[in-house]
Structure 1
Amino acid sequence: MGLFRRNSVNPVAASAEEHGWRYAGSNDALAYLANHEPFTGAHHPGAYDVVRGEIDGHQFTAFLLQSEDTTWDSDGDMYTNNINHMIVTIPTPGSPHSLEITPTGHFGGVKRALTAHKVTFESQAFNDEFIVSAKDPRFAHAVLHAQNIQRMLDDPRKPLPLWFERDLLMTWKQTRLKVDEIEPRVRYLIDNLAPIPPSAWEID
């Protein structure tokens, strides 16, 4: 179900244009961008209000990931609700290893901590604040070196999850896409990409 209405002004498109960014109504390929929550388990997913642009030399893509949640009441009547996630991504040098860094209060991260490839660090404060999941712990430790761990602990934006996958770094939140939140999210991603040493991307 698209969000763009013909013969009406789309506020996301108008706001994106004010920032000098490019707007596209939908791109369903983005709904299958990754193999993790909130992309997995979604019913009839779609990507809408796609915004692309550049901030401080970094290209970004932001979009609304919308899926359906179906429930039944005690009378057997079915109800369908839309679930919205604002997704923001920037490119990285690329790695064959995926890495998820999730605040402990984030439901998805807590659930995956019970089953996924959890990585722990010498910093107990960091282990208490974040759940790190990676099939190859070498990549996790290369990204999360001691200085970066301390920087993340001091960052007030740390409730936002991070995911490295292929040549993308992304973050997400369960909400509709808000154009005024795009730049802060992109800068958050840039700040988490910058401290990673080049050697981390060379791990095969």
Structure 2
Amino acid sequence: MDEVMTLLTLVLIVVAFAGAVLGVSKWWHRKRVAALREWANQQGWHYEHWRPDLAERFSGYPFGRGRRRRVQHVLTGTHRGHEVLAFEHSYTTSGGRNNSSTTFHEVVAVPIPTPRPFLEVTREHFGHKLLGLVGVHDLQLSNERFNSTFRIRTSNDQFARHVLNKDMTEWLLADGRARQVGIRFDGSYLVTWRRGPLDADNIPADADFLIDVLERVPAPAWETTA
């Protein structure tokens, strides 16, 4: 009888602990949603809790990986005259029996004037094995310093060379932001991403970087055949 009572007590403790953890998790989630809604209201932006359609909308890392892909905490608004989309993307991977982990990324995207071919510029060795898109390959420019600092992945060499002209490459080399986050032309958007849950305080700076890049894209790049 004593053994049964001891076992029952342990079970009750475990259940109570699990319930407490779940309660704290729900409380924290509600608090975070409230904070993001407040941020959106202050900025004149719009907040949506879930956007399942965005989970498969973009290409390249961190999209298309793992399972249980989700997009939540979606913020949309205007910054410097440009529409901006920001959200938290997550996916789950398994590391063995009964062992899984969820990876979060913050994504910020700005619509571009016309759909363009795939072009990604990231720090050299940043996530190389995580891209395996059909028709996408590495590109080398004549600027060896740029080649040694960044990795270029593109589906259209002509478009990439138009975008990454002398002025753009020198500017990216001089701007420290380009070493912190990658950029990607992905269909109708220019996108950047960073590891971790969505932090609204990052959004204006990431949007600034994307808009700065966009405003420096030379005119021939918009005329390239996709």
* Number of positions where the alignment pairs a residue of Structure 1 with one of Structure 2: 196
SS at match of 1:94: strand
Deviation at 1:61, TM superposition (A): 0.4
Deviation at 1:185, TM superposition (A): 0.3
Greater Rg by CA: 2
CA distance in 1, matches of 2:203, 2:188: 20
Q: Match of 1:139? A: 159
SS at match of 1:95: strand
- Assess if the C-alpha contact under 8 Å between 1:13 and 1:49 holds in 2: no
Distance 1:152 1:59, change over 3 A: same
CA distance in 2, matches of 1:111, 1:35: 11
Deviation at 1:112, TM superposition (A): 4.4
1:165 equivalent among 186, 200, 214: 186
Distance 1:105 1:17, change over 3 A: farther
2:150 equivalent among 124, 130, 146: 130
Deviations 1:28-60 (A, max 9, x none): 111111121110123110100000010110000
CA distance in 2, matches of 1:169, 1:28: 20
CA distance in 2, matches of 1:148, 1:181: 23
- Assess if the C-alpha contact under 8 Å between 2:168 and 2:216 holds in 1: yes
SS at match of 2:107: strand
* 1:15 is aligned to 2:26: no
Deviation at 1:104, TM superposition (A): 1.0
- Assess if the C-alpha contact under 8 Å between 1:69 and 1:82 holds in 2: yes
Percent identity, aligned pairs only, is 25
**2:48 partner amino acid:** A
1:91 equivalent among 108, 111, 131: 111
Gaps of 5+ in 1: none
Q: Match of 1:175? A: 196
Q: Match of 1:48? A: 72
Q: Match of 2:208? A: 187
Deviation at 1:4, TM superposition (A): 8.1
CA distance in 2, matches of 1:148, 1:21: 31
Q: Match of 2:101? A: 81
Gaps of 5+ in 2: 1-24
Q: Which has the higher helix share?
A: 2
TM-score by length of 2: 0.80
- Assess if the C-alpha contact under 8 Å between 1:51 and 1:63 holds in 2: yes
Q: Match of 1:199? A: 220
- Assess if the C-alpha contact under 8 Å between 1:66 and 1:85 holds in 2: yes
CA distance in 1, matches of 2:130, 2:198: 25
Deviation at 1:187, TM superposition (A): 0.3
Q: Alpha carbon RMSD of aligned pairs, Å?
A: 2.2
CA distance in 1, matches of 2:203, 2:154: 27
* 1:25 is aligned to 2:49: yes
